[in-house]
């Protein structure tokens, strides 16, 4: 099955005040880190840019032969628009789409491989990470769900329709998924790790 990875990096980090995609962690920026990890499980990577695209894009230069980028002109409307723009570009060539966020520093190759194993060995249409007693990203979708991803708009992502698939969602525990970068205090915590 053809796996595509959609990395969402279009937000302008308004609560932080500067692009969180460019925060350094373990020797590379968060956008470089998530791209490197994504490339360990797929060669079809699409990164959605929006706010601060001119600052983030140069950090992707070393990956330019291995990834694609797309600009979301409606990025200010929220994550749903970035998912939709990305899925529109991937829908014809993909059997599975894995959605990742640039600001979750603890995503690993092993986590992504485990998610793929779950979907390949089950009848599930979606595999979601579970943290803080809720479903969240990373999320993996098979093509039966693409039609719903293409309808997304606004601030909320795929969580808006997960109830339609509640009996068809595989989960994987990812307690570190609760940690994402939104504020200065999050950056300070990351520096202490």
Would you tell me the crossing angle of helices 30-38 and 109-120 to the nearest 10 degrees? Answer: 40
**Residue 96, pLDDT score:** 97
Residues 6+ apart with CB under 8 A from 152: 80, 81, 83, 84, 158, 160
Percent of the chain with pLDDT over 90: 72
Paired with 97 in beta bridges are: 4, 141
Distances 104 to 122, 161, 166 between C-alpha atoms, Å = 26, 22, 24
Residues 120-162: tens digit of each pLDDT? 999 999 999 999 888 999 999 999 999 999 998 876 677 778 8
Q: Of 43, 40, 18, which is closest to residue 29 (Cα–Cα)? A: 18
- Domain positions in the chain are 3-192
- Quickly count helices (H) and strands (E) in the chain: 6, 9
**Residue 104, pLDDT score:** 94
The whole-angstrom separation of Cα 122 and Cα 140 is 13
Kindly report the CATH number that applies to the domain delimited by 3-192. 3.90.550.10
| pLDDT(164) > 90 | no
Return the structure tokens found at 107.
């995503």
The whole-angstrom separation of Cα 145 and Cα 174 is 22
Confidence of residue 179 (pLDDT cuts 50, 70, 90): confident
DSSP, residue by residue, 135-155? EEEEEEEEGGGHHHHTT--SS
Residues 9-48: tens digit of each pLDDT? 998 877 777 788 998 989 999 999 999 999 999 999 999 9
pTM: 0.94
């Amino acid at each position: 099955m053809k796996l595509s990875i959609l990395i969402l990096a279009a937000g302008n980090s308004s609560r932080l005040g500067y692009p969180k995609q460019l925060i350094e962690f373990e020797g590379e920026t968060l956008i470089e880190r998530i791209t490197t990890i994504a490339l360990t499980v797929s060669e079809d990577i699409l990164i959605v840019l929006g706010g601060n695209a001119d600052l983030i894009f140069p950090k992707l230069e070393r990956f330019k032969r291995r990834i694609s980028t797309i600009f979301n002109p409606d990025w200010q409307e929220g994550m749903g628009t970035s998912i939709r723009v990305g899925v529109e570009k991937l829908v014809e060539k993909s059997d599975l789409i894995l959605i990742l966020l640039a600001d979750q520093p603890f995503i690993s190759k092993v986590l992504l491989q485990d998610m793929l194993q779950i979907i390949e060995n089950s009848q599930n249409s979606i595999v979601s990470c579970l943290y803080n007693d809720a479903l969240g990203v990373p999320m993996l979708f098979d093509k039966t769900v693409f039609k719903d991803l293409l309808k997304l708009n606004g601030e909320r992502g795929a969580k808006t329709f997960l109830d339609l698939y509640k009996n068809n969602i595989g989960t994987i525990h990812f307690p570190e998924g609760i940690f994402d970068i939104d504020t200065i205090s999050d950056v300070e915590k990351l520096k202490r790790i």
